[in-house]
Amino acid sequence: MGKDTLSVEKHGPGVRTRVLLLTSLSLIIAGTMVSSLYVVRFKLRQRVGKMMEEDLRHSLEAFQGIKARRRSALERENTLLSLLPTLKALMTTQDQRTIADGAVDFWKTSGNDLFALADAEGRVITADAPGIQDADDLKRDLQAILADHSTHYLFSKGRLYEYSQRPIYFGSEGSGTILGFVISGYAVDHRFLLEVGSGAGAEAMFLTGKTIAVSTLTKEQQSELEPHLDSLQANGQSNTRLGRQRYLIIGTDLPDGGRTSLRLVVMKSFQRAESAEQEINSLILIAGLLAIIPGVSLMLLLANMVTRPLESLAAGVKAFGEGNLSYDLPAGGTQEVRYLSRVFFEMRDEIQKKNRALLESERLATIGRMASSVSHDLRHYLAAVYANAEFLASLNISADERVELLEEIRMAVYGTTDMLDSLLIFGNTGTALQRAPIAMTSLVERTVTLVRSHPDADRVVIRMEAAEGNTMASLDAKQVERAVYNLLLNACQSARESETLREVSVLVSSDESTVSVSITDSGSGVAEGIRESLFDPFVSQGKQKGTGLGLTLASSVAREHGGEVQLVHSEPGATEFRLTVLRSLPEETALVPSSHPPSTVVL
């Protein structure tokens, strides 16, 4: 690997491009081959699963058809037996021994697997079935379910029967007397299940609860299936592995099983489908490998024809990315390469024009936003001054009204001055700072006093606390005071909107290198939509006045002092902003500790 890398570097970008093309082609062919294998496998399994499911459902339908035909035959046969004069004469004897002896001949004549006679009260007198050693157990099991006329299945001594019963009348059915009942049925055995599953080549079984009553599976397969019997009780289809084979299983409950939970399950192996899938996968794999050889040869030829002119074009693109706007683009090569060179040349000129236009539009947009904001606020304040001045000119106003109008003019002038001061300081950020040692505690106390006299701080409780420690820092007092003033005024404006508590808390803290001012208000919090752009110019939401420069100014001043302004957290009732500045720039000397002790001031 190391030698190949050195060889590629030695022969330059042409070799690298060809190696990249060859590698890409190989990866494309390999990816196509793997994708084809996956798609074929998925579609094949989907199709095979659907076909197998259809086959198994046909087996269930075949069982329903066979069951309907056999039950119809049982009904007809029982009807004929119940009309035989000899059977009626036998039942009139009312002697159980005589009836039991005579029933054997009728059983052999019917040819059914199950034959029984019951008296008029429904008590089973005799019951016979091939291979039954003890007829009493068969009579007892039959007696337990005979009263339930919706039951057509009997599970006794590990054998499953489907039966039908018919009353025997003395006289006609409409006006005669019931002498008893004749019961006959057939065994649901291995031979019957083979008939059910033969059409789909499937295995079949009957489950009674969690016991396999009868099945076409071998003893070994039944033993492997026993741990999965719980999953066979659920409706729908499932997959189960027996040995090395995977089976699709579908089952259905038999509602006429009576108190015995009876379920028919059919299952079919995926072995033939998996063998076909492996053959198809092998063919696709061989075809993919054979496609790589001519593909690589063709790519080598194309690489020599295309890559070299493209390398020259790539060098021109790289030069443009590095700022070389006069790099000569290739004029030769294929028609496509020449076309790309011409298009790139036009694009390069167009990008330069667009960049110049974009810078100009951004500059004009910024000036426009600032002018719009300042114009709106100035018009608002000037309108207030103009209107109140007209009112003052009137001779019909009282002294109290005159004082109120003068107060409104004073507030408008104060707002205009406040806005112009913010704009002047914002315009001066980035110039040389006039730093001097000052205690942040005293600076904040002075700012709190100024804010408290502002109309927006009316009815807002401002609490100030200074943590223990030295709060001396080398600051441009005017700028930092303005930054703290803006943060504190914003907090008061937010707190005034609260319907309950109107409170602003100010905390001054410090560590070895920084001094911080944390301002927390009880307002509704900062809107989610402006949190990402909170410190951008002209960003505000829900405020009826202001230029949108307050937080921007505070952030700029903090950065110039080596710190920052952060929105620590914001939620209804508790929004905290924190302004942090360095005690001194790295080139400045250490500051003298403050002579003012820490204090707590409640305003």
Contact 495, 510 (CB under 8 A): no
Q: What is the pLDDT of residues 31-41, one digit of tens each?
A: 777 787 778 77
Q: What are phi and psi of 308, to 5 degrees?
A: -65, -50
Contact 555, 434 (CB under 8 A): no
Question: Percentage helix, strand, coil, to 5, in the chain?
Answer: 55, 20, 25
Residue 72 pLDDT greater than 90, yes or no: no
Residue identified by tokens 């307002």 is 523
pLDDT band at 99 (very low <50, low <70, confident <90, very high): confident
Work out the end-to-end distance of the chain between its first and last CA atoms, rounded to an integer number of angstroms: 76
Give the span between the Cα atoms of 262 and 213, in whole angstroms. Answer: 9
Q: What count of other Cβ atoms lies within 10 Å of the Cβ of residue 499?
A: 6
Give the span between the Cα atoms of 441 and 315, in whole angstroms. Answer: 61
Q: What average pLDDT does this structure show over 92-108?
A: 84
More confident residue, 308 or 286: 286
pLDDT band at 590 (very low <50, low <70, confident <90, very high): very low
In this structure, which topology does domain 331-428 adopt according to CATH? Helix Hairpins (1.10.287)
Residue 406 pLDDT greater than 90, yes or no: no
In one-letter notation, the amino acid at residue 254 is L
pLDDT band at 342 (very low <50, low <70, confident <90, very high): confident
Give the span between the Cα atoms of 211 and 248, in whole angstroms. Answer: 20
What's the pLDDT at 148?
A: 76
Q: What average pLDDT does this structure show over 285-294?
A: 74
* CATH fit for domain 83-188, picks 3.40.50.20, 1.10.600.10, 3.30.450.220, 3.30.56.10: 3.30.450.220
3-state DSSP call for residue 421?
helix
Of residues 14, 16, 24, 20, the one with CA closest to residue 311: 14
What's the pLDDT at 585?
A: 64
Give the span between the Cα atoms of 63 and 44, in whole angstroms. Answer: 28
Residue spans of the domains in the chain: they are: 1-82+273-321, 83-188, 192-269, 331-428, 432-602
Residue 134 pLDDT greater than 80, yes or no: no
* CATH fit for domain 192-269, picks 3.30.450.20, 3.40.225.10, 3.40.50.300, 3.40.50.10490: 3.30.450.20
Cα–Cα separations (whole angstroms), residue 116 to 69, 74, 103, 176:
21, 13, 8, 22
Cα–Cα separations (whole angstroms), residue 126 to 108, 152, 179, 402:
14, 18, 15, 123
CATH fold match for the domains 83-188 and 432-602: no
What's the pLDDT at 521?
A: 92
Residue 504 pLDDT greater than 50, yes or no: yes
pLDDT band at 543 (very low <50, low <70, confident <90, very high): low
Give 504-507 contacts, CB < 8 A, sequence gap 24+: 504/460, 504/461, 504/462, 504/463, 505/463, 505/464, 505/465, 506/444, 506/448, 506/462, 506/463, 506/464, 506/465, 507/464, 507/465, 507/466, 507/467
Of residues 244, 240, 243, the one with CA closest to residue 267: 240
Max mean pLDDT range (160-169, 194-203, 258-267, 326-335): 160-169
What's the pLDDT at 515?
A: 93
> What kind and span of H or E run contains 125?
strand 124-128
Residue 546 pLDDT greater than 60, yes or no: no
Q: What is the CATH number of domain 432-602?
A: 3.30.565.10
Of residues 573, 230, 596, 232, the one with CA closest to residue 440: 596
pLDDT band at 580 (very low <50, low <70, confident <90, very high): very high
Residue 516 pLDDT greater than 70, yes or no: yes
Q: What average pLDDT does this structure show over 340-349?
A: 79
Return the minimum-mean-pLDDT range out of 161-170, 237-246, 575-584: 237-246
What's the pLDDT at 5?
A: 41
Q: What DSSP string runs through 66-112?
A: HHHHHHHHHHHHHHHHHT-HHHHHHHHT--HHHHHHHHHHHHHHHT-
In one-letter notation, the amino acid at residue 431 is T
Q: What is the pLDDT of residues 135-173, one digit of tens each?
A: 788 888 888 887 777 778 888 877 888 888 888 888 877
Percent of the chain whose pLDDT exceeds 90? 6
Residue 294 pLDDT greater than 80, yes or no: no
Max mean pLDDT range (49-58, 123-132, 312-321): 123-132
Going edge to edge, which strands form the sheet with 203-208? 211-215, 203-208, 262-269, 245-253, 237-242
Give the span between the Cα atoms of 527 and 575, in whole angstroms. Answer: 11
pLDDT band at 410 (very low <50, low <70, confident <90, very high): confident
Q: What average pLDDT does this structure show over 204-233?
A: 78
What's the pLDDT at 53?
A: 77
Of residues 57, 444, 63, 92, the one with CA closest to residue 268: 57
Q: What average pLDDT does this structure show over 544-554?
A: 66
Q: What is the pLDDT of residues 559-576, one digit of tens each?
A: 888 899 988 888 888 899
Computed on alpha carbons and rounded to an integer, the radius of gyration of the chain in Å comes to 49
Give the span between the Cα atoms of 282 and 287, in whole angstroms. Answer: 9
What's the pLDDT at 519?
A: 94
Q: Are strands 461-466 and 503-510 parallel, antiparallel or unpaired?
A: parallel
